[in-house]
Amino acid sequence: MKFYTDEEIIRHYKMKDAIHDVTQGLDALNNNLIKVKERTVINAEEDNVMLYMPAINLQKQFSAIKVISIFPDNPAHNLPTSQGVTLLTELATGKSIATLEASYLTRLRTGAMTGIATNKLARRDAHVLGVIGTGGMAFEQVLGVLEVRAINKILLFNRTEQKAHQFKEKLVEFGVTAEIEIVSDVDTLTKQADIINCATKSEQNVYQHMNLKVGMHVNGVGSYLPHMREIDIDTIEQAAVIAIDDVAGAEHEAGEFIHASHAGRFNFSEAIELKDLINMDITREDTDFTVFKSVDAAYYDLFVAIGAYEKLK
């Protein structure tokens, strides 16, 4: 039984790999080669929660279960709110063969989903990326977009501006060569960007739709609870295409979509699920708005855990 830390996985398993493996995995899902069961939740003390998310991949012949702890008071003790590992079992033999730390892989696969959706939905000539919210999930979201569009300018907005500066440093250190600018108001960002990534825990929309550059593609990976909102509902209402990673999950979790649905301004049946999107040719007008919303689904973790293991073993 091998154990792979985040550091080892980061060194060898990249966004390009994750985009490949998530696409291949969705293809297997479409061919009924992925089986997922509902996650199990056990409440521990206080608001601490343990999640257990099992799935199997009959194409790759692996079982994976991601075990995640979500402990809201952890930051007070200098520990991350969320920690996880994935346990892999070979279906050829029934033998459990590896555990992998899951923090980086969880961020990476979300970034990969953003990359896949952006590739299908954003204008071909998109070259300015705006980032609203430079917290934990934002970095790999940027890498996902960089993988699929020739971005030469990145605009960063964060409520605490100092963190945007740290985020810029991290991008530069990683080797990102696009021009990176920190902006102090969101409108400056939304009027220039061709694509925006939102990754916040906001409870109201983080930009005004009327201030979006026409033809914008919006990625939203924050807003994972019903009371949260980051994408402006006008964008949802006016979008030519809305893609969602997991529609059933979004109906319970994606705050602004739930709100838009209740207000009669959006219907979940209009959304294209990511697994279908990968096989579609989307024709879009240059003036169309498009949206990708990610909530979460266990099979995405399965795809990258297997991919990382195969790369690292």
Q: 308 near 9, Cβ under 8 Å?
A: yes
Q: How far is the CB of 82 from a copy of itself (least distance, A)?
A: 8
Q: How far is the CB of 46 from a copy of itself (least distance, A)?
A: 10
Task: Write each residue from 90 to 129 as x if it is in contact with a copy of itself (CB under 8 A), else as -, in one continuous string.
Answer: -x-xxxx--x------------------------------
Q: Binding segment for a copy of itself among 53-61, 117-125, 246-254, 304-312 (CB under 8 A)? A: 53-61
Q: How far is the CB of 81 from a copy of itself (least distance, A)?
A: 8
Taking CB under 8 A as the rule, does residue 23 contact a copy of itself?
no
Give exposure, 213-231, as e/b (b: 16+ Cβ within 10 Å).
bebbbbbbbbbbebebbbb
Number of neighbouring beta carbons within 10 Å of residue 168: 18
Based on the number of CB atoms within 10 Å of its own CB, is 285 exposed (0-12), middle (13-18) or buried (19 or more)? exposed
Q: How far is the CB of 93 from a copy of itself (least distance, A)?
A: 6
Q: Binding segment for a copy of itself among 85-93, 147-155, 208-216, 279-287 (CB under 8 A)? A: 85-93
Residues 63-82 within binding reach of a copy of itself (CB under 8 A): 63, 65, 67, 69-71, 74, 77, 79-80, 82
Q: How far is the CB of 48 from a copy of itself (least distance, A)?
A: 7
Q: 228 near 206, Cβ under 8 Å?
A: no
Q: How far apart are CA 310 and CA 158, in angstroms?
A: 37
Taking CB under 8 A as the rule, does residue 160 contact a copy of itself?
no
What DSSP state is assigned to residue 93?
T
Taking CB under 8 A as the rule, does residue 87 contact a copy of itself?
yes
Whole-number Cα distances in Å, 262 to 228, 253, 255, 266: 14, 13, 11, 8
Q: How far apart are CA 213 and CA 77, in angstroms?
A: 42
Chosen residue from 23, 60, 84, 195 binding a copy of itself by CB under 8 A: 84
Taking CB under 8 A as the rule, does residue 239 contact a copy of itself?
no
Q: How far is the CB of 282 from a copy of itself (least distance, A)?
A: 33
Chosen residue from 85, 116, 195, 305 binding a copy of itself by CB under 8 A: 85
Give exposure, 55-74, as e/b (b: 16+ Cβ within 10 Å).
bbbebbebbbbbbbbbbeee
Taking CB under 8 A as the rule, does residue 280 contact a copy of itself?
no
Taking CB under 8 A as the rule, does residue 50 contact a copy of itself?
yes
Q: How far is the CB of 50 from a copy of itself (least distance, A)?
A: 5
What DSSP state is assigned to residue 146?
H
Q: How far is the CB of 106 from a copy of itself (least distance, A)?
A: 14
Q: 105 near 305, Cβ under 8 Å?
A: yes
Q: Euclidean distance between the first and final Cα of the chain, in Å?
A: 11
Q: How far apart are CA 219 and CA 222, in angstroms?
A: 9
Chosen residue from 7, 42, 281, 286 binding a copy of itself by CB under 8 A: 42
Beta carbons within 8 Å of 193's beta carbon, 6+ residues apart: 128, 129, 130, 155, 213, 216
Nearest Cα neighbor of 119 from 232, 277, 275 is: 277
Question: Which residue lies nearer to a copy of itself by CB, 271 or 302?
Answer: 302
Question: How many residues in the shown chain lie near a copy of itself by CB under 8 A?
Answer: 40
Residues that bind a copy of itself (CB under 8 A): 1, 3, 35, 37-38, 40-45, 48, 50, 52, 54-56, 58, 63, 65, 67, 69-71, 74, 77, 79-80, 82-85, 87, 89, 91, 93-96, 99
